[in-house]
Amino acid sequence: MLKRVHFPSSPLPYLLVAPQLAITLVFFIWPASQAMYQSFLIEDAFGLGSEFVWFENFEALWADQHYLDAFLRTAVFSLLVAALSMGVALLLAGFAQRVVRGAMFYRTLLIWPYAVAPVLAGALWVFMFNPTLGIFPYFLDFFGIDWNHYLNGNQAMALVILAAAWKQVAYNFLFYLAAMQSIPNSVIEAAAIDGAGPGRRFFSIILPLISPTTFFLLVINMVYAFFETFGIIHAVTQGGPGSSTTILVYKVFNDGFVGLDLGGSAAQSVVLMVLVIAMTIVQFRYVERKVEY
Amino acid sequence: MVENRPLTAILTHFMLVLGVIAIALPIWITFVAATHDAARMTQVPLPLWPGTHLWDNLKQTLFGSGLSGTEGAPVWLMLFNSLAMAMMISLGKIAISLLSAFAIVYFRFPFRMTCFWMIFITLMLPVEVRILPTFEVVANLGMLNSYWGLSIPLIASATATFMFRQVFLTVPDEMLESARIDGAGPMRFFFDILLPLSRTNIAALFVILFIFGWNQYLWPLLITTDTSMTTIVMSIKQMLEAAEQSPQWNIIMTTALLAMIPPIFVVISMQKLFVQGLTETDK
Amino acid sequence: MAEIKLTDLTKSYGPTEVLHHVEGEINDGEFIVIVGPSGCGKSTLLRMVAGLETVTSGEIAIAGRRVNELEPSARDIAMVFQNYALYPHMSVRENMAYGLKIRKLSKAEINKRVEEAADILEIHQYLDRKPRQLSGGQRQRVAMGRAIVRDPQVFLFDEPLSNLDAKLRVQMRLEIRKLQQRLGVTSIYVTHDQVEAMTLGDRLMVLNGGYVEQFGTPIELYDRPASVFVAGFIGSPAMNFLPATAEEDGLLLPSGIKLVAGLAQRGQVLLGMRPEHLIPDAAGPIAIEVEMVEQLGANTLLHGTLSGTDHAMVASVSGHVSAEMGTVHRFAVTPELLHLFDPETQKRLEA
């Protein structure tokens, strides 16, 4: 935490933390407390006055079927994104760590989607799946599938999941590969001497040994799917058709900036904050446990 | 690896190549679209092999009218805006995080833990969840449509502070003792010893933060209304909207390509630092 | 002139006192070794002299000047650390010059001093290398070079040899001693190794649990250890201790044998005998039942118990001796080489 030896006390440390504290106060703590405060207010229709209503905004959220649907939708969306991107990454990392020479070569080829902005990822996938022009609808047509994510809510959901998972594969791959490469070779060799083939070794040795990484990635991927996929949704579906791809982050933005429902949006923000804090705590618990290993 | 059976080796490489193709496909298609003219990009099926119009498309996108039907800023200006924002965010984050981590690790002062916790809280509040009130603060400060408004609210970072704290804690105590016997004061120690010792960590963090900054979308979307402040990443969305009227996919995808190249270049060229930065900041 | 005076020096961390009323005067040019087991407070004491730890109470004076409140850099000292603490990103030359640069010495003066130190330590060919390109012994020299260039009034060494292998340690030990004699700088050296302490120090300060057990020359410590702790700590193999009763006609050992008469003390005492002072003598009073033999070449160690008891005993006999397990060997001892201690206070009883 603190060095055993430190500098004698002076005003200097205050100057050093001042920039970060100032920014934190002005752009983090103040807005967050504003959101808290606003979540207890209802503005009248003309924006002229507001009334303190305690938990009414939250109760309204709880009673709002649209909000509950969005909540459920976000959970499904996040789980599918995490499962898809982690599954693909695990598979690729499992093969890549078997390659003695060239693992780094494959790594180079697999990591670039990380650098692509979510909204760009959305644009690429929207282009590939453009109902009239896109490559994929053209091929899907041969199988009798009529692709139009502008009309079909399930297809729209599938598309944002694909785009979101694609972008995250690189990240998961890096962590899985690092975790697998840190397994001592002697453990693998011992299993081979015990007669386990490559497939069996993967499931009975490697998979259990990297389970801490899997848990860590699950949390990270959930956070990613919850908060960082705004750009993808905005570019691909804008929450539609209907509200079939409106996840919580998108709803906060939509209700606040488009619908101008400040109290409701603030209440949603507070719910999201609670969610992030919960996930962060889970993640830190995990980090602490990992240290004990 | 343990055994050396040619069949499994072939299968392994086959699966990996398949994976690479699947991962690279969207980027390949983007590249291909950027090499054809507008007419070819309206015929089904779309090409899967590059054409000959890359240069024309680049010229039109970068210096020409860009996408017709939008009254946007020239793309080179967007690229500049993105670069400015990414640099301000990454360098700003590194600077303030270095200073605050230094204070927290090397000084004992009243309210030290309070400061620590206040910084820690920012870890829990991504910009997306406090978007509206933060927007109001920036608007009240008159920072809309400015580089300051684009970058400063994103600068405070608990992650970077934590990483530097971690790095500083691994620097042996004797470094400081030795420096004190040599007569170095706190700032001298910071610049002469601590900074040089953390330079690879700084570089690794820079790679991550540059990408983070370059790829910002929601925040610039909210606080820039002036087209001269548009960033390249934002412009894609506007072009997609325009594409619904007049599809000019060659230009859109050229722009997308231009928006992807800088961060991809950073990741690939500094791969080692990038991996180090990623695994260190998130651990 | 730099003598060091420690007056009633105490150090506490919160409520725990780790150093208790340390007193000591170190003369100009003297080489003092502070020795003791780990956790005895020896490093803390050294770091207090360096100014890296605050003084809880008492006074440290260097060259007649109270330095309690001075920054390390203002005390005119130099320190060699256990892990050398070389700045890894600076070349050897820059490492040595850094402190001088901060003191704003002229370029020419810095160069002159670095060259001189490099001459003394024979590290000229490494001057432009980075610390990581050097071996342990070379780093050790650089760390000393960094101390020398400052031309300080006091050298402080914090276990500087403990990271080296055994052979190099002996060699560097000699070099440090020669260097110190040549420069004549007052030095304080901390170690847990009693051989290092005996060979290096003009005088030794033995610390145990934060108390100074004894402060004297190596020979004084060996010949007249002030306490059971010092007696057991100095000398290898360690001194044998036996409970004994001092009576009018001699010392009654647990084996029922009486040893030498004419002692002033009466009652329970702790008898100490160094293994090397036990002389093989078929008629000797001390019988040892041998359990294990260690052949060291120049001498032989016989481990066993005092015959008829289970008190462990070691005898060191010069040359090769063969002994069967379970056989009894007899030894004699000169009365002047016996040490008596009070079993209560653990302090030496003077004959």
In three-state form (DSSP H/G/I as H, E/B as E, the rest C), the secondary structure along A210-238 is CHHHHHHHHHHHHHHHHHHCHHHHHHHCC
Residues of C in contact with B172 (CB under 8 A): 83, 85
Q: Is residue A206 a contact partner of residue A183, using CB atoms and an 8 Å limit?
A: yes
The two three-digit tokens of residue A138, written as one number: 């053209």
Q: What is the DSSP letter of C276?
A: G
H or E element, residue C300: strand C299-306
Q: What is the predicted ipTM? A: 0.84
User: Where in C75-222 does DSSP place strands (E)?
Assistant: 77-80, 154-158, 186-191, 203-208, 211-216
Between CA C76 and CA B181 the distance in angstroms is 9
User: Is the Cα torsion angle A177, A181, A185, A191 positive or negative in sign?
Assistant: negative
Contact A3 B169 (CB under 8 A): yes
Closest residue in chain A to residue B187, using alpha carbons only: A12
Segment 200-239 of chain B within 8 Å of chain A by CB: 211, 214-218, 222, 233-234, 236-237
Query: What's the burial of B93, exposed, middle or buried (CB within 10 Å: 0-12/13-18/19+)?
Result: buried
What is the pLDDT, as a whole number, of residue A47? 61
What is the pLDDT, as a whole number, of residue A4? 62
Residues of B in contact with A88 (CB under 8 A): 19, 22
Between CA C243 and CA C271 the distance in angstroms is 6
C160 prior amide bond cis, ω within 30: no
Q: Looking at residues B256-276, what average pLDDT do you find?
A: 87
Please name the residues in contact with A160: beta carbons below 8 A apart, sequence gap of 6 or more. A77, A122, A229, A232, A233, A236, A237, A245
Closest residue in chain C to residue B199, using alpha carbons only: C89
Kindly report which listed range (A66-80, A215-229, C175-189, C192-206) carries the lowest average pLDDT score: A215-229
The pLDDT tens digits of the residues spanning A167-191 come to 999 999 988 988 888 888 888 888 8
Q: Looking at residues B149-175, what average pLDDT do you find?
A: 86
Q: Please name the member of B175, B181, B183 whose beta carbon is closest to the beta carbon of C50.
A: B181
φ and ψ at residue C329, rounded to 5 degrees: -115, 145
Closest chain B C-alpha to A81 CA, distance in angstroms = 15
Q: What angle do CA A247, A251, A255 make, to 5 degrees?
A: 170
For domain A64-292, the question of CATH label 2.40.30.10 is answered with no
What is the pLDDT, as a whole number, of residue C262? 67
Closest chain A C-alpha to B141 CA, distance in angstroms = 10
Residue B77 has pLDDT above 90, yes or no: no
B195 and C CB contact within 8 Å? no
Between CA C212 and CA C19 the distance in angstroms is 9
Residues of B in contact with C89 (CB under 8 A): 196-197
What is the pLDDT, as a whole number, of residue C201? 92
CATH for C4-233 is 3.40.50.300
Residue A280 has pLDDT above 80, yes or no: no
Mind giving me the DSSP string for C301-336?
EEEEEETTS--EEEEEEES-----TT-EEEEE--GG
A46 pLDDT band, cuts 50/70/90, is low
Does residue C19 or residue B116 have the better pLDDT?
Answer: C19
| Count of beta carbons in the 10 Å neighbourhood of residue C34 | 28
The pLDDT tens digits of the residues spanning C108-154 come to 999 999 999 998 888 989 999 999 999 888 999 999 999 999 889 99
What is the pLDDT, as a whole number, of residue C267? 84
What is the pLDDT, as a whole number, of residue C304? 92
Closest residue in chain C to residue B197, using alpha carbons only: C89
The pLDDT tens digits of the residues spanning C75-105 come to 999 999 988 889 999 999 999 999 999 989 9
Q: Is residue B94 a contact partner of residue B206, using CB atoms and an 8 Å limit?
A: yes
Q: Is residue A271 a contact partner of residue A40, using CB atoms and an 8 Å limit?
A: no
Q: Looking at residues B211-215, what average pLDDT do you find?
A: 90
Strand C279-280 relative to strand C267-273, pairing = unpaired
What is the pLDDT, as a whole number, of residue A293? 34
Between CA C244 and CA C259 the distance in angstroms is 10
A43 pLDDT band, cuts 50/70/90, is low
What is the pLDDT, as a whole number, of residue A292? 35
Between CA A34 and CA B275 the distance in angstroms is 37
Q: Looking at residues C1-27, what average pLDDT do you find?
A: 90
B120 pLDDT band, cuts 50/70/90, is confident
**Cα C247 vs. chain centroid, distance in angstroms?**
36
Between CA A230 and CA A243 the distance in angstroms is 14
B18 and A CB contact within 8 Å? no
The number of CA neighbours under 13 Å toward the Cβ of C145 is 33
C225 pLDDT band, cuts 50/70/90, is very high
| Domain locations along chain A | 64-292
Q: Looking at residues B23-40, what average pLDDT do you find?
A: 85
Q: Please name the member of B41, B45, B233 whose beta carbon is closest to the beta carbon of A119.
A: B233
Q: Is residue C275 a contact partner of residue C329, using CB atoms and an 8 Å limit?
A: no
Contact partners for chain C, using 3 or more CB pairs closer than 8 A, are B
Q: What is the mean pLDDT of chain C?
A: 90
How many inter-chain contacts (B to C, CB under 8 Å) are there?
54
B67 pLDDT band, cuts 50/70/90, is low
Q: Please name the member of A100, A174, A230 whose beta carbon is closest to the beta carbon of B275.
A: A174
Q: Please name the member of B46, B130, B240 whose beta carbon is closest to the beta carbon of A133.
A: B46
C220 pLDDT band, cuts 50/70/90, is very high
Between CA C304 and CA C326 the distance in angstroms is 9
Between CA A19 and CA A17 the distance in angstroms is 6
The pLDDT tens digits of the residues spanning A143-166 come to 888 888 888 888 999 999 999 999
What is the pLDDT, as a whole number, of residue B71? 58
The two three-digit tokens of residue B265, written as one number: 């270049």
Contact A133 B253 (CB under 8 A): no
Kindly report which listed range (A56-60, A177-181, C197-201) carries the lowest average pLDDT score: A56-60
* Among the listed residues C116, C182, C184, the one whose alpha carbon sits nearest the alpha carbon of residue C145: C116
For domain B73-282, the question of CATH label 2.60.40.180 is answered with no
What is the pLDDT, as a whole number, of residue C34? 95
The answer for A102, left when phi > 0, alpha when psi is -120 to 50, beta otherwise, is left
CATH for C240-341 is 2.40.50.140
Segment 206-265 of chain B within 8 Å of chain C by CB: none
What is the pLDDT, as a whole number, of residue B36? 84
Closest residue in chain B to residue C94, using alpha carbons only: B192
* Among the listed residues C185, C217, C264, C215, the one whose alpha carbon sits nearest the alpha carbon of residue C2: C185
